[in-house]
Every structure is written in structure tokens, then in C-alpha cells.
Chain A
């Protein structure tokens, strides 16, 4: 948990978690907060876009489910991010192998097969951000495909 009433000494990297299943969303969001990230939660791609349109808000990584209700799924969101916020890394999580393969082609951040362990997501984000140069951020790690 953060120290109450004060910002952490280091500005936390921010992850936007996009997941329509609330019990999954809160588990991964809490895990990432415990790992020291600032986490913003969105219940679908439309909510995520509203957050991402606030360009003054720092967001380093979007971690999104592939299959979501609403006007856009995870692929649509990834394309939106690439077109509008190209500085932000995207990692997609999908339960269908074909979808995960497509995600790996679409996102520099690659994909994580569902169901996933929170630790796997954290490792992926950590490696992605560690490999990022300050001004150009889209050359992250290799993707992981479901076995």
C-alpha cells in the first residue's frame, strides 16, 4: 500500500488494466499495486479510451483483455493506442490461442495467455518497461505464446 497522504519517493509507473470481469480485474490490479505500480482500472475499452484521451495523465502500459463487450475489443483498443498514444506499450491477454497469436503481432508488448498468474503479468510489464528507452518505447520484449 502507498504511504497515506504522501506520494511515493519514486514516481510510480502507471498501468491501465482493462478487464470486464470485476473479480479478475481487482485481483490483477491489487497485485500490481502491491508491486509498486499506480494502477488505473477500466471495465471495457470505451472506459479505457476515456482515460487515454486525458493526454496529461501518465500511462506507461495498457494491459487489456482481448475479449470484452462494448464498441471495441482488446484488438481494437490496441489499434487505437497505436494510432493515438504510440508512446504507450500494450499487452493483451487472451484465452484463445489464435487471438493471442494475433495480439503478439499487433503489440510490441506481446500477449499473455489466459488464465494468467499475476506474477507472469508483472514479469512481462517489468521486462517491457526495463527494455524501453526514454523517448522511444515500442521496442519491447519478445512475445509469449500459449504452449
Chain B
């Protein structure tokens, strides 16, 4: 994924796509930039409803990174459950600044505490993608 000289690829299926779901724009931007710097294709969603819209489309998504708390009908855990059912091959990372009740392990492949450690998060994304 980290090869240089990936010239103007226009076919989305030639990219590994990460869906980043975060309602705080500056945090979303920081994460998206860090993942794009790794050569990953990043789809940005500002809440759970936008993310559902992406997951219901035909767009390739290989990994979802979502905040638990989202200002939408669908929160991060609901989104993770939906993604698990709709796209079983998608890897899931859930992040929260608060303790999360319930069985995260049953829903997500990894959990991150917020504020994000961007470097660790990028490493986890790459590790999960390399396993899939």
C-alpha cells in the first residue's frame, strides 16, 4: 500500500478504501490526512447517516474507523453492527473518549481511546488491512 508513484488512479477498486466517520471536522481531517499520506483512499463521513449512505452504495470500503458518539440517528456501535451485517469482510475500528458499555469485541476488530494517537491508529489500520 505504501508504494510510491501511484499515478492518478481513477478506478476506486484499485485502492484500499478506509471510511472515516467522525463528526469533529478538524479531527476527521487530521486522521484522513494521516491515512492518505499512507497511500490509502479515504472516504470521509461526518456522521452515522452519511456512513450508512456510503456502506449502502457500491463503493468499495475495506475498513471503517468510527467514533462511537455521533450526532445522528445511527451511532458508532449501530454503524459497526450494520457494517458487520451488510459487509462482513469490512474491518472495523471503534473509537471513543468515554467508556463504552457492551461487547465491543463482538462488534469491532479494534478499539481506540480518544484523543487519537494518530501514529498508533495508522499502524492498527495497516495491520488490520494486511490481515484481510
Interface residues of A (CB under 8 A from B): 1-6, 22-23, 25-26, 29-30, 34, 40-44, 47, 50-51, 54
Whether the pair A34, B8 counts as a contact (CB closer than 8 A) is yes
Whether the pair B29, A3 counts as a contact (CB closer than 8 A) is no
User: How far is B27's CA from A50's CA once the two chains are assembled, in angstroms?
Assistant: 11
Known: A26-B44, A34-B8, A41-B44. A5 touches B25 (CB 8 A): no
Whether the pair B6, A1 counts as a contact (CB closer than 8 A) is yes
User: How far is B8's CA from A30's CA once the two chains are assembled, in angstroms?
Assistant: 10
List 14 other contacts, CB 8 Å, given A5-B38, A6-B4, A30-B41: A1-B9, A1-B15, A2-B37, A4-B1, A4-B2, A5-B2, A5-B37, A22-B44, A26-B43, A26-B54, A30-B12, A34-B10, A47-B46, A54-B26
The binding surface of chain B is classed by DSSP as loop
Interface residues of B (CB under 8 A from A): 1-10, 12, 15, 25-26, 29, 32, 36-39, 41, 43-47, 50, 53-54, 57, 59
Q: Measured between C-beta atoms, what is the minimum distance from B45 to chain A in Å?
A: 6
The binding surface of chain A is classed by DSSP as mixed
| Chain A residues whose C-beta falls within 8 Å of the C-beta of B45 in the assembled complex | 22
User: How far is B33's CA from A40's CA once the two chains are assembled, in angstroms?
Assistant: 9
| Chain B residues whose C-beta falls within 8 Å of the C-beta of A41 in the assembled complex | 29, 32, 44
| Total A-B residue contacts, Cβ distance less than 8 Å | 64
Known: A1-B9, A23-B57. A42 touches B4 (CB 8 A): no
User: How far is B117's CA from A117's CA once the two chains are assembled, in angstroms?
Assistant: 38
User: How far is B54's CA from A25's CA once the two chains are assembled, in angstroms?
Assistant: 11
Whether the pair B37, A43 counts as a contact (CB closer than 8 A) is no
Whether the pair A51, B44 counts as a contact (CB closer than 8 A) is no
Of all A-B residue pairs in the complex, the 9 with the closest CB atoms, nearest first, are A43-B46, A4-B39, A47-B25, A22-B50, A1-B6, A3-B4, A4-B2, A41-B44, A50-B25
| Chain A residues whose C-beta falls within 8 Å of the C-beta of B6 in the assembled complex | 1, 3-4
Contact sample, A vs B, 15 pairs, CB 8 Å cutoff: A1-B6, A1-B9, A2-B36, A4-B37, A5-B2, A5-B37, A6-B4, A22-B50, A23-B57, A41-B32, A43-B46, A43-B50, A47-B25, A47-B46, A51-B29
User: How far is B107's CA from A111's CA once the two chains are assembled, in angstroms?
Assistant: 45
Q: Measured between C-beta atoms, what is the minimum distance from A106 to chain B in Å?
A: 24
Whether the pair B37, A22 counts as a contact (CB closer than 8 A) is no
Known: A47-B25, A47-B46. A4 touches B53 (CB 8 A): no
Q: Measured between C-beta atoms, what is the minimum distance from A74 to chain B in Å?
A: 17
Q: Measured between C-beta atoms, what is the minimum distance from A41 to chain B in Å?
A: 5
Q: Measured between C-beta atoms, what is the minimum distance from A2 to chain B in Å?
A: 7
